[in-house]
Amino acid sequence: MAFPATRMRRLRKTAVLRDMVRETELTPAHLVQPMFVQLGEGRTPVEPMPGVERMSISNAVEEAGEVHELGVPAVLLFGLPADKDEQASGAYDDEGVVQLAVRALKDAHPGLVVITDVCLCAYTSHGHCGVVREDGTIDNDLSLELLAKTALSHAAAGADAVAPSDMMDGRVAALRTQLDAEGFADVPIVAYSAKFASAFYGPFRDAADSAPAFGDRRSYQMDPANADEAVREALLDVEEGADVVMVKPALPYLDVIRRVKDATRVPVAAYNVSGEYAMVKAAASLRYVDERAVVLEALTGIRRAGADIVITYHARDVAEWLSR
């Protein structure tokens, strides 16, 4: 039945009617706040990400408490280690920055879900996500051992979930096997399954001091042109034991989020990354866009595309806006 029998505007007449037929909800319960923790005292602003800071562990504990209080259930931790080396030893040091932060956070806020990013790039002297061979290529299988050790040390510190972001083949199985063997069978894996080699990570690499010293990440992160491959990556991760699969970045990859959701039917996370955040902040500071309106619209779009969980630097602001 077409016009005039059908008039789509009938259900758009009032806010009450619009609310009744809204298909997608955006609430703080779906959000994850990423946080950067550093050793020592104080906070350091991240220049290309206004409002984001690297924090000391005690500041992170305070900040996470406030974010949790606002209804955001989870944080995702990234660490800035004291030292970097070829073997990324800071990543799996039981007294490393992330391990210390996890213990402090869980101690102060037992109900907060603490997820840790599992990767080597912030801990290696060369900034790559795996172990580099003499010829400059990445040793996939050797990297798996270090990644599994890293995840295990996070779990032992009390992490509620581990999130491998390195894009090595077989890492989900490697982590699952190691965690199960050491008594952490109930720690979920949130796999960065379809992680694209994206220019939108630029501001993050400033924040985490993790830019590769040579080359780029295209031998492990995905080609932005590929969506069938993204679905394969997600299906493989599910087969290897991933509890949640992730698509990253979010906004240029909404089609991938939908396809991964339809193909896997497991919970899907989308990472609204640093460059997406930086663009909104820059445009909003020039008053070219209304920050609150564009953020709520963008995150609703990510949810509508099929994301159950949205990891975003806007989480705290969104929770504040929605609670008012």
Instruction: Identify the sign of the CA torsion 189, 209, 47, 201.
Output: negative
Check if 248 is active-site: yes
Instruction: Identify the sign of the CA torsion 60, 45, 84, 167.
Output: positive
| Number of alpha carbons in the 13 Å side-chain half-sphere of residue 78 | 22
Check if 195 is active-site: yes
Beta carbon of residue 61, minimum distance to ligand PBG (angstroms, whole number): 22
* 103: its two tokens: 């213990």
Beta carbon of residue 153, minimum distance to ligand PBG (angstroms, whole number): 17
Candidate ranges 39-47, 138-146, 199-207, 237-245; the one touching ligand PBG (CB under 6 A) = 199-207
Residue 121 binds ligand PBG, judged by CB under 6 A: yes
Name the residue nearer to ligand PBG (CB basis): 1 or 313.
313
> Contact 163/191 with Cβ under 8 angstroms?
yes
Q: Which residue has the tokens 């020039």?
A: 286
Q: Which residue has the tokens 């866009």?
A: 289
Residue 160 binds ligand PBG, judged by CB under 6 A: no
* 270: its two tokens: 């989308």
Beta carbon of residue 138, minimum distance to ligand PBG (angstroms, whole number): 13
Which residues, 238 to 297, sit near ligand PBG by CB under 6 A? 273-274
Opening angle at CA 281, ends 214 and 47, nearest 5: 45
Residue 309 binds ligand PBG, judged by CB under 6 A: no
Beta carbon of residue 19, minimum distance to ligand PBG (angstroms, whole number): 32
H or E segment at 293?
A: helix 291-305
Residue 129 binds ligand PBG, judged by CB under 6 A: yes
Give the integer Cα–Cα distance in Å for 298 and 67.
20
Name the residue nearer to ligand PBG (CB basis): 117 or 160.
117
DSSP 84-106: -BTT-GGGG-TTSHHHHHHHHHH
Name the residue nearer to ligand PBG (CB basis): 35 or 234.
35
Residue 193 binds ligand PBG, judged by CB under 6 A: no
165, 178, 264, 312: which one contacts ligand PBG (CB under 6 A)? Answer: 165
In single-letter form, the type of residue at position 26 comes to L
Which is catalytic among the residues 149, 195, 261, 281? 195
Catalytic residues: 195, 248
**Residues of the shown chain interacting with ligand PBG in the complex, contacts defined by CB under 6 A:** 117, 119, 121, 129, 165, 201, 204-205, 210, 217, 273-274
